Amino acid sequence: MNSFANKVAIITGAGQGIGKAIAQAFSHHEVHVIIADNDEESGKETQQWIEEKGGTATFIPCDVAQEASIKSLIHQVMDDNGRIDFLINNAGVSRFKPIRELSVKEFDEVLTINLRSAFIFAKYAEPLLRKSGKGAIVNIASTRALMSEPDSEAYAASKGGILALTHALANSLAPDIRVNAISPGWIEVRDWKKTSARQEVQHREIDKKQHLVGRVGTPEDIGRAAVFLCSGELTFMTGQNMVIDGGMTVKMMYEE
C-alpha cells in the first residue's frame, strides 16, 4: 500500500463506533486524523487514544447538521494543516419507528445528518481534495440502502441517498477525486462507544450463523476497507459501493 505519511483525513462521527475504528485505521498509516464530532467526551477520548498509540489526531467539535459548523471545520483544517487528502462521511443517526409515529421533523433530521452533511462536506472540501492531487471520498452507507426491515423508512432513505450521491459525486469530481461508498452490514459497536456508554458484547450462536464467515462484523472491518479505498492500490475504482457484511445479504434464511 502506498505511503500515507503526512496526509490529512477528515472523519465525521469519529468519536465512537465505526468512525472511531476508521480513525484508528488511518492513524496506523501515519495519516493525521481530524475527528469531526459533536460529542466532546468521545472526540477528546478518541484523540487521546490515537496519540497514546503513536498516531496524531485533532478533535474539532462539529455539528454536521449545520452548514456553518462544517465550513468552519474545513477552514480550520486548512489553516492548521494546509491540506485535506481524504474525507470519510461517516456521521449518522437512526430513528426506527412505525411510520404513523415517525414525525416529519424526525425524518428530516435523519436525512440532514446522514445525507445532507455528506453533500456539504464534499462541497466545501472539494477544492482542497482536488489540490492534493489524489483526493478520495468514502461515504458510509448501509446494507439497509439495499434491503429493509419494517419501521426503517428514514434511515433506509438516507442511506439509499448516500449511494446515489456517491455515484453522482464520482462523476462531478472526476478525474481528480475518487468517490466510493461502503455499505456495512451488522457491525457490533457497543464496545466501541465512549467510556461512559461502553457495553460488554456477547453474541448468540444464531447471530453468528446468519453470516457466512461465522461471526458478526467489527468496526475494524470497516476501518481497513476505508483505508484501502483511499489507497493508491485502487486508483481505478470510483463511484462504487463496497458491501461488507460477512455474506449476510447473500445467505438465504429460512425460519425453522
User: Which amino acid belongs to residue 10?
Assistant: I
Q: Around Cβ 12, how many Cβ atoms within 10 Å?
A: 27
Cell triple for 139: 461515504
Nearest to 32 by CA among 86, 98, 73, 71: 86
**Location of C-alpha cell 443517526:** 93
Taking the C-alpha atoms of residue 50 and residue 25, their distance in angstroms, rounded to an integer, is 10
153's CB contacts (< 8 A; 6+ apart) are 99, 102, 107
155 catalytically annotated: yes
Contact 162, 140 (CB under 8 A): yes
Catalytic residue among 155, 211, 221, 246: 155
Nearest to 141 by CA among 184, 94, 178: 184
Contact 151, 110 (CB under 8 A): no
Taking the C-alpha atoms of residue 219 and residue 113, their distance in angstroms, rounded to an integer, is 20
Quick one: which H or E segment has residue 243?
A: strand 241-244
**Location of C-alpha cell 452507507:** 141
Taking the C-alpha atoms of residue 249 and residue 133, their distance in angstroms, rounded to an integer, is 36
Contact 86, 27 (CB under 8 A): no
Residues carrying an active site annotation = 155
